[in-house]
Amino acid sequence: KQEVTQIPAALSVPEGENLVLNCSFTDSAIYNLQWFRQDPGKGLTSLLLIQSSQREQTSGRLNASLDKSSGRSTLYIAASQPGDSATYLCAVNRDSGGSNYKLTFGKGTLLTVNP
């Protein structure tokens, strides 16, 4: 059974700091990995998607890496801003690559960026 763990559970940083969020998963046979952002009481916004054959993906100030063999992914946020404050969720697609897309989520990291 796939299990996803995110560390730390909560993180508070001053504005402008670079930071790293960690995600680990127990079964390396994944199809892809997706990072999401969740604002309080809201749905999930997709940030980055990494296919199992890829090592990293970048979007603006965000960079996500994937080490499939060791079951780890990191989300790097550069020059953090108060607007980055949210819960960040890591999810792995545990299907073998067919049309289904069944995600296993971590519990998330609650990020607070202080002005």
Partner 1 sequence: SQTIHQWPATLVQPVGSPLSLECTVEGTSNPNLYWYRQAAGRGLQLLFYSIGIDQISSEVPQNLSASRPQDRQFILSSKKLLLSDSGFYLCAWNGQVMGQTEAFFGQGTRLTVV
106 lies in the binding site for partner 1 (CB under 8 A): yes
The minimum distance between CB 53 and partner 1, in angstroms, equals 11
Which of 77, 104, 100, 78 lies closest to 89 in space, CA to CA?
104
Which 33-62 residues touch partner 1, going by CB under 8 A? 34, 36, 41-46, 49, 51
State the Cα–Cα distance between residues 10 and 108, nearest whole angstrom.
8
Which of 58, 56, 63, 57 lies closest to 20 in space, CA to CA?
63
Among 7, 10, 107, 114, binds partner 1 (CB under 8 A): 107
The minimum distance between CB 45 and partner 1, in angstroms, equals 8
**What is each CA distance from 62 to 1, 78, 84, 101, in whole angstroms?**
29, 7, 11, 24
CB closer to partner 1 out of 14 and 43: 43
71 lies in the binding site for partner 1 (CB under 8 A): no
Angle at 57 between CA 17 and CA 26, to 5 degrees: 90
CB closer to partner 1 out of 57 and 85: 57
Contacts with partner 1 by CB under 8 A lie at 4, 32, 34, 36, 41-46, 49, 51, 89, 91, 93, 99-108
